[in-house]
Structures are given as structure tokens and as C-alpha cells.
Copies of this chain bind each other. A is one copy, B any other.
Amino acid sequence: MDTHSKHLPAGERRAVTVEAVVELAGLQNPSEITTAAIAKHMNLTQGALFRHFSTKEAIWQAVMEWVAERLLARIDHSAHGIKSPLTAMEAIFMSHIEFVAEHPGVPRMMFGELQRSESTPAKRMVQTLIQRYGERLYRFIEKGKASGEMSPALDTEAAAMLFIGTIQGLVMQSLLVGDVERMRRDAPRVFAIYRRGIESAQ
């Protein structure tokens, strides 16, 4: 049972820290999240954080590792067993939106990291994540062209780029109106247009 013990094993404490940051990023500007704010949000003193992470940057790295792992697992699982590449991409799209709706801080953190000019470990993790994401999309689109589901003249690279941009647009819209829930409603409407843009004429 939950003993509410103040002392947690290092591994657990690190996990709790990552979750605290993900939560906070959904509530405020990620670049304004201080170590004091993280500690307060998990009922810990600020200094104690540095027993588990050598620097603040190390915290961000752990957070982005968490994101990369979860997001890729989620989209892989959503597409698993689906024959049609087009349907698989729709499943990936919806599960990605669902993930972001559950963790609204995630896209904020990712974009925030990409903004940085220096190449931090956290930024590199985001770059790797998006690269892997893009590779998966690339394969599905090529399969879709081969199967005739998608237009053979389709620009695969551009289609993968637009897929991610489509999600980015939904995220921006939700930031604009300050309503994460809208994303779930708007996702099918926007994907329908994207789908029309890549599928072969019937």
C-alpha cells in the first residue's frame, strides 16, 4: 500500500520527478519550470533533486527519454496488426492526439527543446524521436503507394512532414483557445482532409 513514506528509492524518485515535470509542463511554460517548482510539486525540497540528477539538464534529458519511449510505443501499438497503411496511419494519428491530450505538456516541451540553439542531450533526444517517427511514417506511405491505396505520384517525404505538421497545427490551436479537449474533437476533421490529400483518386 501507499505508505506516503518520504524516503523513496532512487529509481522511484527519478520516475516521480519525470512525471512531475510532465504534469507541470501542461500547466505552465516549460521554459519557466524551475527546480524549486518541480520540487514543490512533488513535496520535496529543491536541493534534494540534485541527489538524483546531477544538473537540471539531466532532468530534462530523463523527461525526453520518457516521452520518446512512451510515444513510440503508443503509436507502434496502435498500428499493430492493421493491414491497410492508410488505416494504420489514421490509428497512429488518433493515438498520437490521444497521447498529447493526456499529456499536454509533451508537445510544449518538445517544441521548446527544438528552439534551443545549443545541442543539449534533451534536444538531441527530441531530434532522434522525430526522426524515428518520420521513418515509420515513410514506410507506411511507401507501402500505401505500393498497395495502390495512396497516390503513386505522392511525395513521400512531404507527406510525412505534413502528417507531423497536421498534429502540430492541432496543438497550436489548442494552445490558442486554451482547450485541450478540442483537439480530440478536431482531430478526425483535420485528418480527413490530410487523408484526401494522400489517398489515390477513387
Contacts and interface: CB of A to CB of B under 8 A. Distances in A.
Interface of A: 27-32, 108, 111-112, 114-117, 127, 130, 151, 154-155, 157-159, 161-162, 164-170, 172-173, 175-176, 186, 189-190, 192-198, 201
B175 A170 contact: no
B189 A157 contact: yes
A176 B117 contact: no
A197 B193 contact: yes
Contacts of A193: 154-155, 158-159, 162, 194, 197-198
A166 B162 contact: yes
A194 B192 contact: no
Copies in the complex: 2
A186 B161 contact: yes
Contacts of A117: 27-29
A84 to B, nearest CB: 19
Contact of A161 (B31, B161, B190): B190
A187 B198 CA distance: 16
Contact of A108 (B30, B115, B164, B165): B115
Contact of A162 (B127, B169, B176): B169
Contacts of A32: 31, 116
Given A29-B115, A117-B28, A197-B196, A165 B155 contact: no
